[in-house]
Chains A and B, each alone.
Chain A
């Protein structure tokens, strides 16, 4: 009973039940909104919130700027798709194999570059991502294995096959990505509150000082890139199953990597909720621009993104998470005692 009482105490605090309300709203969203268009937009919003959260582990917490995270998305998408199309292995398992491969590539990039400071890693990520994308774009087949080249691959259609990660109704995908996002947030939360998080922050702020205190900088940076790569690759498999079609410029392109960077920086790097806030504020803007402005004004949303990013860096170095948090706690304070 005492435990329950404590739990009730926790719930009655405004800053907690407001948050729970928002989470509940997210879970109940498909029950209220029947329009497939809005469901699709929300899936993309959450997809980017998740991707950016993964980016945040590496680039926010560990401070290693990645501009090639799309390479992990591509590895995830292609691995699960190829395994499914050729061996019939369900993407539910294939996505973990993709994740493992992504970790391998991540370590391959991180190992040499983490010795160096500054921009080396950032540039290496671009080079690796672009290099791999070019390879996939220019390879029709490896031996008998068809990997589609620039035209990409379609996932064999099965209509409704839950065990093969295929659903006719988009709502299933909504819940999958929503749960994935919360898994990603939980991992970030655990990092934020654990020793690893403090190590990573120490490395980000001053690597020499961290090293002097006995923190193996490279080891923890490699851990960060492994986590980031693994979870990003899961999103790649998700994207393949959602769209049932993948092409290298779509899942592996530089624009996808830059999108993660923009959302993460604007939202607030190195914070738990920053990436989610960034995605929830900005991805709808992009989708609306795409729908209502259309292709006549290409790049309109990126002009907005780019200017917001410049403004955020100059005036809100911790991202828009900071003012939003202030508003949130201000609201909670008004609703009642903080307890």
Chain B
């Protein structure tokens, strides 16, 4: 799943003495926490859309990849990667809104009475294949990395090395988490979104145009995808299939945390991040992925609704 990044993070450690060993573990925990929070950010959009529309958006992975390409392109013309957010996020909000109002809404209307519409899920799976291969046709299968001032930059906090780009990613996660929850809690639009998610028909009777609301919710989900794509660009490779690296991970994360729960997505991401970085201290990085899948299956057996498996957590 997310192995590429760890090549740089956790070098094959030799036998350390007690104190130094402790330090490597703390380092691994910090790294895992930072990376894991970004996994959570990637999963926010997915869990938000599910919570409101009961739709698993399979195109999520390819949209993340497209966000990375857009941010990468803006980097190549000399834009600061974090400044490019002012373009990427609105573009993706618009893309999400349009996608919802044109294609997904059509499929939703066909299965209006169904709680968890299957054809929408299949439609997004079709879009996933389409987007990924369109990009592949357009740019070819080369791996790209963006050279930004943040690439490889680090700073030290009491002996712990922290990657600057990862720290900013963590900040972005926290800020968007608090913005998102207060938006959903305190604004009229946010309340309308929650209402449409809880009971479509009741919301409609209260005068809420639920298709517009779905469009906004999908747009917000995509804006979050745009944000996560952008914060990945300074330190991750970019490739038409890169969405899969995070895509399957974020599916696992949303189930781990409980479908529809934002806090669950955050903690699910952190758990996966910690398994990966701590696991890499004991085993080959590819095996940590197997452990992640194993934990996922175990959770399905023990607590299938996920760790935060509440119906609505706001």
Residue ranges of A at the interface with B (Cβ–Cβ < 8 Å): 63, 65, 67, 112-113, 115-120, 122-124, 126-128, 130-131, 134-135, 137-138, 254, 258, 261-262, 265, 297-300, 302-303, 305-307, 309-310, 313-314, 317
Cβ-neighbour of B289 out of A116, A134, A303, A313 (below 8 A): A134
Q: Given contact pairs A123-B255, A261-B125, A307-B130, enumerate 20 new A-B contacts (beta carbons under 8 Å).
A: A117-B115, A119-B50, A120-B259, A126-B248, A126-B251, A127-B296, A130-B1, A130-B293, A131-B289, A131-B290, A131-B297, A138-B284, A298-B140, A300-B133, A300-B137, A309-B122, A310-B126, A314-B107, A314-B110, A314-B123
Residue ranges of B at the interface with A (Cβ–Cβ < 8 Å): 1, 50, 54, 56, 103, 106-107, 110, 115-116, 118-119, 121-123, 125-134, 136-137, 140-141, 240, 244, 248, 251-252, 255, 259, 284, 286-287, 289-290, 293-294, 296-297, 300-301, 304-305
B293 touches A120 (CB 8 A): no
A305 touches B129 (CB 8 A): yes
B248 touches A120 (CB 8 A): no
Residue of chain B at shortest CB distance from A262: B129
Contacts of B134 in A (CB 8 A): 299, 303
Contacts of A130 in B (CB 8 A): 1, 248, 293
Contacts of B50 in A (CB 8 A): 119
A115 with B304: in contact, given A131-B290, A298-B141, A299-B132 (CB under 8 Å)?
A: yes
In the complex, A314→B123 CA distance in Å?
8
**Interchain nearest-CB distance for B59 vs A (Å):** 10
In the complex, A115→B300 CA distance in Å?
10
**Interchain nearest-CB distance for B114 vs A (Å):** 9
Contacts of B286 in A (CB 8 A): 134, 137-138
* Cβ contacts A to B, 16 pairs, < 8 Å: A116-B304, A120-B259, A123-B56, A126-B251, A127-B251, A127-B297, A261-B125, A302-B130, A302-B133, A305-B129, A306-B133, A307-B126, A309-B125, A309-B129, A310-B123, A313-B119
Contacts of B121 in A (CB 8 A): 65, 119, 122
Interface of B is mostly: helix
A131 touches B136 (CB 8 A): no
Cβ-neighbour of B287 out of A63, A138, A307, A309 (below 8 A): A138
Contacts of B141 in A (CB 8 A): 298
B130 touches A118 (CB 8 A): no
A116 touches B284 (CB 8 A): no
B127 touches A113 (CB 8 A): no
Contacts of A297 in B (CB 8 A): 137
Contacts of B297 in A (CB 8 A): 112, 124, 127-128, 131
Residue of chain A at shortest CB distance from B293: A131
Interface of A is mostly: helix
Residue of chain B at shortest CB distance from A258: B129
In the complex, A258→B133 CA distance in Å?
13
Contacts of B1 in A (CB 8 A): 130
**Interchain nearest-CB distance for B50 vs A (Å):** 8
* Residue from the set B50, B130, B137 with the largest chain A CB neighbour count within 10 Å: B130
Cβ-neighbour of A299 out of B54, B110, B116, B136 (below 8 A): B136
Contacts of B122 in A (CB 8 A): 65, 261, 265, 309, 313
Contacts of B126 in A (CB 8 A): 262, 265, 306-307, 309-310, 313
A63 touches B118 (CB 8 A): yes
Contacts of B140 in A (CB 8 A): 298
**Interchain nearest-CB distance for A211 vs B (Å):** 15
In the complex, A302→B134 CA distance in Å?
9
In the complex, A299→B125 CA distance in Å?
16
**Interchain nearest-CB distance for A29 vs B (Å):** 30
A119 touches B116 (CB 8 A): yes
In the complex, A230→B122 CA distance in Å?
25
Cβ-neighbour of A113 out of B107, B137, B304 (below 8 A): B304
* Residue from the set B103, B110, B289, B297 with the largest chain A CB neighbour count within 10 Å: B297
**Interchain nearest-CB distance for A249 vs B (Å):** 12
Cβ-neighbour of A314 out of B103, B128, B294 (below 8 A): B103
In the complex, A310→B107 CA distance in Å?
10
In the complex, A133→B122 CA distance in Å?
24
Contacts of A135 in B (CB 8 A): 290
Residue of chain A at shortest CB distance from B289: A134
B129 touches A298 (CB 8 A): no
**Interchain nearest-CB distance for A210 vs B (Å):** 14
Contacts of A299 in B (CB 8 A): 132-134, 136-137, 240
**Interchain nearest-CB distance for B310 vs A (Å):** 15
A120 touches B127 (CB 8 A): no
B56 touches A118 (CB 8 A): yes
In the complex, A310→B125 CA distance in Å?
9
**Interchain nearest-CB distance for A154 vs B (Å):** 23
In the complex, A270→B225 CA distance in Å?
34
A122 touches B248 (CB 8 A): no
In the complex, A261→B125 CA distance in Å?
9
* Residue from the set A117, A123, A128, A297 with the largest chain B CB neighbour count within 10 Å: A123
Contacts of A302 in B (CB 8 A): 129-130, 132-133
B136 touches A127 (CB 8 A): no
Contacts of A138 in B (CB 8 A): 284, 286-287, 290
Residue of chain A at shortest CB distance from B106: A314
**Interchain nearest-CB distance for B7 vs A (Å):** 15
Cβ-neighbour of A128 out of B56, B125, B284, B293 (below 8 A): B293
Cβ-neighbour of B116 out of A113, A117, A310 (below 8 A): A117
